[in-house]
Each structure stands twice: as structure tokens, then as C-alpha cells.
């Protein structure tokens, strides 16, 4: 090496690795699925929540491009209808239905419609979510809405649709769009309470009550102002915790659905789309919506039945 040349620093090396992986993902997306890999058909029903824009829209588009029937849902009817029309004009089989995962009545109405029209579904992509922080901001002003939407709403949606997951030899799929910010043992953004982390980490002892109680404790501390000294993540706190809960619930449900009998198999996994250029990130992300949607679509269509209760980013398994 010439003495005037500089070795790439850690940040530059990470950027190079990221760009190389993005190129690889882009290449993989150009490779069509073989007949052997295609377990789905035009009659396969996929539901994508929060799909009127951003990552959700792109997930719906990619799934429909692969030949599935996609139910695009949105809290906003006008936005959802416009998004659906745009995809339909491209020749894709996409149907719209209004859905607000914060409202039990809306979830019940949606499930009743699905049951009447299709009898059930084969794929659920839980994408709907919100965040009120961008950049270095870390306000918890809307913490209750963030937790209720990203975790409790997602959980309620999953529970409501579980009975409608159609039995088949191939099994049904549930994909949770989550975030690395919700990792239990991330180096910079984790819960300080080691005992609590260990409880949430032990999948054999993990319970829904424990996850709920953790979120409710945080919200109580937000209300009384003690959350800063409570040992919670200090970066995108409410969003990070909501996704931590989604990740934990995915691991829990992975264990639960693994106990189902043959022909009733369901495979549930979560994924991080990366920091995507969408309205949620203030268009400041590093990744395109096409790239951000890729792993969720890949998991939804994955033939490998050993993949269950796991966490992925860029088509690779990562630690919770």
C-alpha cells in the first residue's frame, strides 16, 4: 500500500459491506422463483397491513408481482383505494379493505369480511406501525399510541387472523415487520435491567403477560416522568420498545405454532427492513423501499419449513 493511501476506517468498511449486500439483494430479486419453489398460486391470499405507502405498499406490490392475490389494508380509506388502484392499473391482483389495527371493531369487521369472501388467508404481513421521532429526537409524547399500535395492535391483529389461516401441506406464514432497534442485547440501545432482559430472552419461560407487563410498566413511567431513570433504551425509546415487544411476541408465537398438527402449520418470523427512505424516517433513510420490503417478501414466500420464530435482516438471520 502506498504510504499516502489511507486504510478504510470502521465506518467506511461498514458502508462498503452494506453496499455490497444491497447489490447482492438486488441481484437475488431478479432471479425468478422456480416451479419447485413456488408453493403459492393466484388463489393464495396475502394480507398486508398499513400498505397504502412506503414499505407496506412495496411489500404488497412485490407479493402481487409474484402472482398472489393481495389484500391491501390501510387506516385511511382514500389513501388505500388510491394505492390499490395504482397497483391494479399495473395488472396486479390487489384488493383493498379498510383496517385500523387500533380498533377492535375494525379488526373484527375485517376478519368477518375475509372469512365471507375468501374463507381464510395464507399469508399475513404485519407492517402497520408508527413512529414520531426522526433523527436524534427522542420524545415519548406519543408513547402510548406507539406502543398500542406497533405492539398491542399487531398482536391483536395476529390473534384475530390465526383462526383464519388456511390449513395446507405448505403451511401459512406470518411476517412481522420489526426493527433492529428492538434487539434485546443491542450494544447501544438495550434495556438496562439485566434480569428483565434475561426473562425476555428465555423463550421457554417467555409469556404474553410478561411482554404486556413490560410495555405497561414503561407507559406508567412515561406518565409519572420516571422513564429516563428507568433504564429504558435512550434512542427512539418508545419505538424501540414497541419493536422489542414485537420481536418477543414473534419468538413466543413461534413456540406456540410449532405445536400445531400436520396440515395446520404456521411459520411466524420477524424482520428488520433497515433504515428506509419513507415518510416515517423523514425520507432520511439509507435504503430504498424496494430493498426494505425484500426480506419480508422473501420470508412470506420462503419454502424452508425449518424457519420459524426467528429474526432476519437482508435475508440473513440475526440475534434477537
CA 149/CA 130 separation, integer angstroms: 7
In 3D, which of 301, 304, 307 has the Cα closest to residue 65? 301
| pLDDT tens track for 82-95 | 999 999 999 999 99
Where is pLDDT greater, at 1 or 160? Answer: 160
Q: With beta carbons less than 8 A apart as the criterion, state whether 242 and 178 touch.
A: no
State the average pLDDT over residues 66-79: 98
Q: Known catalytic residue: 239? A: yes
Strand order from edge to edge, sheet including 94-98 = 94-98, 69-74, 45-48, 123-126, 172-177, 266-272, 311-313, 316-318
Q: State the pLDDT at residue 122.
A: 98
Q: With beta carbons less than 8 A apart as the criterion, state whether 312 and 295 touch.
A: yes
Q: State the pLDDT at residue 283.
A: 55
Residue 110 above 90 pLDDT? yes
Q: State the pLDDT at residue 60.
A: 98
Q: What is residue 261's DSSP assignment?
A: P
| pLDDT tens track for 168-224 | 999 999 999 999 999 998 887 899 999 999 999 999 999 999 999 999 999 999 999
Nearby residues of 48 by Cβ (< 8 Å), 6 or more positions away: 56, 59, 60, 63, 70, 71, 72, 73, 125, 127
| pLDDT tens track for 217-240 | 999 999 999 999 999 998 899 999
Whole-number average pLDDT of the chain: 92
CA 128/CA 50 separation, integer angstroms: 4
State the average pLDDT over residues 69-91: 98
| pLDDT tens track for 268-297 | 999 999 876 666 666 566 678 899 999 999
CA 49/CA 75 separation, integer angstroms: 9
Strand 311-313 with 316-318, pairing: antiparallel
| pLDDT tens track for 117-165 | 999 999 999 999 999 987 777 999 999 999 999 999 999 999 999 999 9
Angle between helices 54-65 and 289-301 (to 10 degrees): 50
Strand partners, 271: 177, 312
Q: State the pLDDT at residue 14.
A: 80
CA 170/CA 302 separation, integer angstroms: 10
- Domain at 39-318: CATH code: 3.40.50.720
Active site residue: 33, 151, 239, 249, which one? 239
CA 63/CA 59 separation, integer angstroms: 6
Backbone φ and ψ for 79, nearest 5 degrees, come out as -65, -40
In this prediction the pTM is 0.93
Q: Tell me, rounded to whole angstroms, the distance of Cα 263 from its chain centroid.
A: 25
| pLDDT tens track for 11-68 | 888 888 888 888 888 898 889 999 999 999 999 999 999 999 999 999 999 999 999 9
b/e 195-222 (16+ beta carbons within 10 angstroms → b): ebbebbeeeeebeeeebeebbeebbebb
Nearby residues of 199 by Cβ (< 8 Å), 6 or more positions away: 205, 206, 210
CA 11/CA 30 separation, integer angstroms: 29
Amino acid at each position: 500500500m502506498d504510504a499516502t493511501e489511507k486504510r478504510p476506517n470502521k465506518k467506511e468498511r461498514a458502508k462498503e459491506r452494506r453496499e455490497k449486500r444491497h447489490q447482492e439483494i438486488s441481484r437475488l430479486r431478479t432471479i425468478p422463483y422456480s416451479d419447485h419453489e413456488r408453493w403459492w398460486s393466484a388463489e393464495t391470499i396475502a394480507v398486508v397491513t398499513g400498505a397504502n405507502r412506503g414499505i407496506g405498499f412495496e411489500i404488497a406490490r412485490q407479493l402481487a408481482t409474484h402472482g398472489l392475490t393481495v389484500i391491501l389494508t390501510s387506516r385511511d380509506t382514500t389513501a388505500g383505494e388510491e394505492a390499490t388502484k395504482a397497483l391494479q392499473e399495473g395488472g396486479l391482483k390487489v384488493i383493498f379493505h379498510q383496517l385500523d389495527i387500533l380498533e377492535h371493531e375494525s379488526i373484527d369487521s375485517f376478519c368477518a369480511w375475509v372469512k365471507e369472501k375468501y374463507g381464510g388467508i395464507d399469508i399475513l404481513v404485519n407492517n402497520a406501525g408508527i413512529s414520531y421521532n426522526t433523527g436524534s429526537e427522542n420524545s415519548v409524547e406519543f408513547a402510548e399510541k406507539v406502543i398500542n399500535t406497533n405492539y398491542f395492535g399487531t398482536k391483536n391483529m395476529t390473534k384475530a387472523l390465526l383462526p383464519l389461516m388456511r390449513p395446507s401441506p405448505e403451511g401459512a406464514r406470518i411476517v412481522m415487520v420489526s426493527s433492529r432497534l428492538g434487539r434485546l442485547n443491542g450494544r447501544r440501545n438495550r434495556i438496562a435491567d439485566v434480569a428483565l432482559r434475561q426473562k425476555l430472552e428465555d423463550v421457554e419461560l417467555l409469556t404474553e403477560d410478561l411482554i404486556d407487563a413490560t410495555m405497561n410498566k414503561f407507559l406508567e413511567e412515561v406518565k409519572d416522568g420516571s422513564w429516563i431513570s428507568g433504564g429504558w433504551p435512550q434512542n427512539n425509546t418508545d419505538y424501540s420498545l414497541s419493536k422489542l415487544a414485537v420481536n418477543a411476541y414473534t419468538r413466543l408465537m413461534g413456540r406456540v405454532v410449532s405445536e400445531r398438527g400436520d396440515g395446520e402449520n404456521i411459520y411466524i418470523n420477524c424482520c428488520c427492513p433497515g433504515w428506509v427512505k419513507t415518510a416515517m424516517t423523514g425520507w432520511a433513510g439509507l435504503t430504498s423501499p424496494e430493498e426494505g420490503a425484500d426480506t419480508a417478501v422473501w420470508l412470506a414466500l420462503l419454502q424452508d419449513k425449518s424457519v420459524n420464530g426467528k429474526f432476519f435482516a437482508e435475508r440473513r438471520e440475526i440475534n434477537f
